[in-house]
Amino acid sequence: MRKGILVVVVTGRGAIGFLLSTSVLLLLVLATGRTIPALAPLHPAMVGKVITVDPGHGGIDPGSHDSEGILEKDIVLEIARDVCYLLARARAVPILTRHGDWEMSPLRPEEKTRHRQDLAARIHIAHRTNSDVFVSIHVNKIGSKSTSGAIVFYSKNKPESKRLATCIQQAIKDVAPFRGQSVLEGDYYVLNAANLPAVIVEVGFISNPEEKELLLTPSYRGRLAEAIFRGLLSFFESS
């Protein structure tokens, strides 16, 4: 059996899969200059698990940003790509909702607003691919420059989503510790609409100067990706 990464493109009519060989994978890593600090070994609990990894925002929606042109949509795409590489090396099946700087709204035109179309498309991808979990990656921003660290959100009354959030938070707190409660209920469309365990991972604060600089560093983004991977592994191993 050929080994590599399964890349799935979801359209309104279904899903199309492409298998990338390990050699092609290496060329992609070299071409993009991304750093993945440790490729995951085989983990039985991860084999065959379908995991939708969603880089938040994209296209005309930059997400959080600063006055210097640093955009959330770019940071989270790099982290999501690293998560997918680690999942694929562990023989899971990663589904990346967007592979570039675009929005997802054309996939769900029946929704009333572009924003809702975009969000509905991301959950649609998870549902159409029969994903086992959905992880949406974001970057935070608030008025305070001192707040830093990762926070994980889940939807109320969804115990498996809470368990997933807790597993990821336990892994990511060593990389991006947050002072205070860091596993929180969140009233967000993608979490409420999901019929599978779903979380939003806010990996840090772009409003914190030190953390922003870290988020721009490939090695740090790789550490965040590893932490998310370890959280997913813990979730499946404890199922």
Q: What is the 3-state secondary structure (H, E, C) of the chain?
A: CCCEEEEEEEECCEEEEEEEEHHHHHHHHHHHCCCCCCCCCCCHHHCCCEEEEEECCECCECCCECCCCCEHHHHHHHHHHHHHHHHHHCCCEEEECCCCCCCCHHHCCCCCCHHHHHHHHHHHHHHHCCCCEEEEEEEECCCCCCCCCCEEEECCCCHHHHHHHHHHHHHHCCCCCCCCCCEEECCCHHHHHCCCCEEEEEEEECCCHHHHHHHCCHHHHHHHHHHHHHHHHHHHHCC
- pTM recorded for the entire structure: 0.84
Q: Tens digit of pLDDT per residue, the chain (239 long)? A: 333 444 444 444 344 444 444 443 443 344 334 444 444 467 899 999 999 999 999 999 999 998 888 999 999 999 999 999 999 999 999 999 999 999 999 999 999 999 999 999 999 999 999 999 999 999 999 999 999 999 999 999 999 999 999 999 999 999 999 999 999 999 999 999 999 999 999 999 999 999 999 999 999 999 999 999 999 999 999 98
